[in-house]
Amino acid sequence: MASTKMKIKKNKTGGRDVMVLAKHPMETGLRKDKKTGEKIPAHYIQTMDFALNGTVVAQANLGGGVSKNPLIGTTVADAKSGDTISVNWTDNKGEGGGAEKAVK
């Protein structure tokens, strides 16, 4: 579906801060199209999983109240140089996206 960008930065405690920008419309299902007057169907990210070397270490549960193109962050305490951090998300229509990056 849409692109997903990820940044990883080392934090003061030695872990890694992970920030993910998911390009997604995040429609609540409550807005109306200005031209037709019909409701725009709900379309939003439901879950976002963060994994370290293939093992899920954090999960975000989102809903229709989250803004368009959400920026979601977490800290992965055990991430070391050479590890791989990945993120995968799924929306309410069964579509998804993700990104993967090696820790430097």
The candidate with the shortest Cα–Cα distance to 83, out of 51, 47, 49, is: 51
Asked whether residue 34 is domain-assigned, the answer is: no
Number of domains in the chain: 1
CATH number for the domain harbouring residue 76:
2.60.40.10
pLDDT for the residue numbered 2? 67
pLDDT for the residue numbered 98? 96
Full domain range(s) for residue 55 = 4-29+39-102
pLDDT for the residue numbered 3? 87
Given a cut of 70, the residues of the chain with pLDDT beneath it are 1-2
What is the rounded CA–CA span in Å between residue 66 and residue 30? 13
pLDDT for the residue numbered 46? 98
Q: pLDDT of 19-43, one tens digit each?
A: 999 999 999 999 999 999 999 999 9
pLDDT for the residue numbered 88? 97
